[in-house]
Amino acid sequence: MRVLVTGGAGFIGANFVLRTLAERPDVDLTVLDKFTYAANASTLDPVASDIRVVRGDIADASIVDPLVADADLVVNFAAESHNDRSLADPSSFVQTNLVGTYTLLESVRRHDVRLHHISTDEVYGDLDLDDPARFTETTAYNPSSPYSSTKAGSDLLVRAWVRSFDVAATLSNCSNNYGPYQHVEKLIPRQITNVLSGIRPKVYGDGANVRDWIHVHDHNDAVWTVIDRGQLGETYLIGADGEVDNLTVVTSILELMGREADAFDFVTDRPGHDRRYAIDATRLRTELGWTPRFTDFRSGLADTIDWYTAHRDWWEPVKAGVEAVYAATQQTL
């Protein structure tokens, strides 16, 4: 099978590429990535001779079209992915998440190629902390940020192309991922690398916000499950029952790294900050038989701390720049 992985040099896409190479020798992989600030070219270096890597934009039809024509399946991980950046400047989010997805859709339509579109639970907006509800495949879309609204728009484009043009597509909406190769702008790697750099971890607002954590390997196993056994035209939610509030995440990191649990700062809250996400993945579990394997969050966190400790060369070159941007907008409370 020839698979085109868009965004394959980013966090989840690169983990998808590395695990697919290890576990599916019958798959021939091409990565299309714009190599924005979010990509790290060194992640794919060890497998460079096993895959084809193309530097380019998913919104550029002249690059996308011949690659799609040569593929049996496109898995679209390419996106602008960070909420804080989308609040500072939404333009690249509109361009990549909306125009880029549109460009891919027109190309898979032209060449009759299957698409799996990767999306997020943030399209559903947020839940109150004490609400017993969780998101399901029928929850109404209600995104809050420029990031999540452009992801919601991209999902709606995929659904419309399925309905109007019979494009062969599936969608999955996953909760917060953690694991190796995640950019240090995101909560967990930011705080681990803060501790490793002698900087106090930073918690937005009151720290009570809840995210539903899933290990990136469980996400990617679920993506393959949907590709292998999902019904065309359908959406599957991916989550591993991993609800944890941000304060617990940060104090756990501090404890696991041998620091005092209160050695962090509260900083300015994110505007429009979603309170809680929670996924009900019953459909994926019962209809497609998927189960997560990395369900002990504290042990997954410990492994992730070990990974960042052992791979300083991977993250140190960008760390100071990320912290400088945050320092310009966030004050200690």
Residues that bind ligand NAD (CB under 6 A): 6-7, 9-13, 33-36, 38-39, 57-59, 77-81, 96, 100, 118, 120, 151, 174, 176-177, 183
Among 277, 290, 294, 308, binds ligand DAU (CB under 6 A): 277
Among 6, 83, 86, 103, binds ligand DAU (CB under 6 A): 83
Binding partner at 204 among ligand NAD, ligand DAU, none, C-beta below 5 to 8 Å by kind: ligand DAU
176 is an interface residue for ligand DAU by CB under 6 A: yes
Helix (H) or strand (E) holding 21: helix 11-23
Helix (H) or strand (E) holding 107: helix 101-111
Paired residues of 198 in beta bridges: none
Instruction: Answer whether 279's CB lies under 8 Å from 237's CB.
Output: yes
Q: What angle do CA 69, 72, 74 make, to 5 degrees?
A: 85
Specify whether 178 is catalytic.
Answer: no
Question: For residue 205, what are the CA distances in angstroms to 202, 251, 326, 333?
Answer: 10, 15, 14, 8
Instruction: Name the active-site residue from 33, 80, 121, 243.
Output: 121
Q: Give me the least distance between CB of 120 and ligand DAU, in Å please.
A: 3
What 138-146 contacts at long range (C-beta under 8 Å, 24+ apart), as own/partner pairs, is 144/272, 144/274, 145/83, 145/86, 145/87, 145/272, 145/274, 146/86, 146/87, 146/90, 146/93, 146/94
Among 19, 82, 111, 311, binds ligand DAU (CB under 6 A): 82
Binding partner at 134 among ligand DAU, ligand NAD, none, C-beta below 5 to 8 Å by kind: none
Q: Give me the least distance between CB of 17 and ligand NAD, in Å please.
A: 11
Residue of this chain nearest to ligand DAU (CB atom): 120
Instruction: Answer whether 218's CB lies under 8 Å from 239's CB.
Output: no
Instruction: Answer whether 119's CB lies under 8 Å from 268's CB.
Output: no
Binding partner at 7 among ligand NAD, ligand DAU, none, C-beta below 5 to 8 Å by kind: ligand NAD
**What does the binding site for ligand DAU look like in residue numbers (CB under 6 A)?**
81-83, 120-122, 175-176, 186-187, 190, 202-204, 209, 211, 246, 270, 277
